[in-house]
Amino acid sequence: MKKTFDLFMIIILVVAIIILSSCTQALEKETTKSTEDETTENLEQDNGDDLISEQEEPTESNTQQPNTEETVSILPVIEYETITETGRFSGYPDDSHIAILISGVPESIAEKIFLVDENIRDKIDEINPDEETVLKFEYYTDENGENVIVEITKI
């Protein structure tokens, strides 16, 4: 009777191991398929307006010498959400930045420094601001955390 019980337990263990290994293999296949589906979905999203890529599939005739004339790659354009603020002109910390005291913020913490390009600098020069000049401006924060003015007008 003891031998029958031991044999029965061994058979149950073997069956359990087979079932568990089958479940693990099925789970791995499902995970791999899910990852492939996500990758395909991400690639389809990336092939929108932001990225243009025309490449030939490798064949015997074109694998020896890459044809760079038929490959076009444009880096994606990063779009930032702009913020519109008003404030008083505070000064120029350097040639490429402007300091503005943001309206509605306590003066001790109101000053923000903004990066300005040549076009914006020309507009600021046309405005010729002093410390009483109130400005309306649009800016965004770039990937480096720097505030960049894209539009500025005198109020």
Q: What is the pLDDT of residue 29?
A: 62
Which helix H or strand E contains 7, and what residues bound it? helix 2-46
Each of the 155 residues of the chain gets a pLDDT tens digit; together they read 777 878 778 888 788 788 767 766 665 666 555 555 555 555 555 554 444 444 445 555 545 555 555 555 565 667 889 999 999 999 999 989 999 999 999 988 999 999 998 889 999 999 999 999 999 999 999 999 999 999 999 99
Q: Give the 3-state secondary structure of residue 46.
A: helix
* H or E element at residue 19: helix 2-46
For residue 71, give both structure tokens: 């490959």
Q: What's the confidence (pLDDT) of residue 57?
A: 52
